[in-house]
Structure 1
Amino acid sequence: MALIDRIDTVFVPAIDTSTAAAWYGRMFGMTPIFESAGYIGLRLPGGEAALTLYPARSIDRDGHYRFNFYSSDPEGLRQAIVTEGLEATPIKDAGPIRYFDFRDISGNWINICAPGRG
């Protein structure tokens, strides 16, 4: 018997959680599920795990990416990120998956994975 049921939330730092929450809502359709003391929880439509933005004084711009999203249209998503004026790496092909990284509005690295072409 498992002692846990799911991953409930992923915590992501943001200098301005309200601005970051609005950006995640606009870019990815995430909706707020709670707000308390500067923490803002968001969820994708139909999603189970939440993303919780928490207040931070700084962002580790050299750190590992915070989490990844799965996308069936990485080219379209990458173009939308670049159109926002945000940093994105080229899409790389690793056999069964394709992926790229981008910086969110707060400067965190986020990874995108997608099905491979072969």
Structure 2
Amino acid sequence: MDAPLATRIDTIFVPARDTEGAAAWYARLFGMTEIFRSAGYIGLRFAGGDPKSTALTLIPAERVDPDAHVAFNFFSPDPEALREALIADGREVTEIHDQGAMRWFDFVDPAGNRVNVCSFAEDA
């Protein structure tokens, strides 16, 4: 069998009107620690956990609508190959976006859900 094109669910996205307050709440109740902060986005992971474990990213939102955001993303070491495989499967796929050290794209699964794929240096 060929190597998998995605290797884990990387991030669960949670919209929040107050990402600072939400981050403090997750830290207090679940012992999560901040792993990154950028443009209002705050990434959290369980304290002492594996640095490759699934993270929770709080995303700034004017209002919270559970149907209006990507619920999770896959990490892929080769986003181009995964994107091509999704296109070959007939999926609706966006272009690959570069955002500094991260590259990402979205696709629509067969059930109509928007799913994200990200890629970045694993030692980052």
Tell me the TM-score normalized by structure 1.
0.50
Tell me the TM-score normalized by structure 2.
0.48
Question: Looking at both structures, which has the greater relative contact order when contacts are Cα pairs under 8 Å and sequence separation is at least 6?
Answer: 2
